[in-house]
Amino acid sequence: MWKKVELTGLTPVASLEGAALDWAVAKCLPDDTVRIYFEEETGEKLFLDDWEVPEFSPSTDWAQGGPIIEREKMTLEWTGEDWMAYIRHDEEYFGPTPLIAAMRCYVASKMGDEVELPNELV
């Protein structure tokens, strides 16, 4: 049984990781064509346009996150401690991996510094 996600609670984009970050990235994809659903038992699967994408994880999969980085013309730099990502020298976002930093940057560029998350991800 599948249910539509109910959004609650604001979370800083700079702290997003894992499924919460991937969910936020999916919400930012072009043309607002993404419909997100969670499996009631596990809360883990995402659906995009009614097609199942069982492992949508742009924060860990270069095949999914890489095209976003390229399309947004994002810059990635190693700071000596963390990865930093930015678009056109706008606000910088950091993460332990280049994909996490980049996806945080992408989400912030589309949704601002805080996002509403589903109960399942808070």
- Residue 23: the pLDDT is 85
**Residue 121 forms part of a structural domain:** no
Residue 117 C-beta-side C-alpha neighbours within 13 Å: 23
**Residue 122 forms part of a structural domain:** no
Q: Which residues of the chain have pLDDT under 50?
A: 1-2, 32-33, 48-53
- Residue 37: the pLDDT is 56
For the record, the structure tokens of 74 come out as 């994002």
**Residue 117 forms part of a structural domain:** no
Beta pairing partners, 87 = 74
**Residue 102 forms part of a structural domain:** yes
Distance CA 111, CA 118 (A): 15
**What count of residues does the chain have?**
122
Tens digits of per-residue pLDDT, 42-64? 555 555 444 444 567 899 999 99
What CATH number did the domain enclosing 45 receive? 3.30.2120.10
Beta pairing partners, 85 = 76, 93
- Residue 119: the pLDDT is 74
- Residue 68: the pLDDT is 94
Our count of domains for the chain comes to 1
- Residue 103: the pLDDT is 97
Expressed as residue numbers, the domain containing 106 is: 2-111
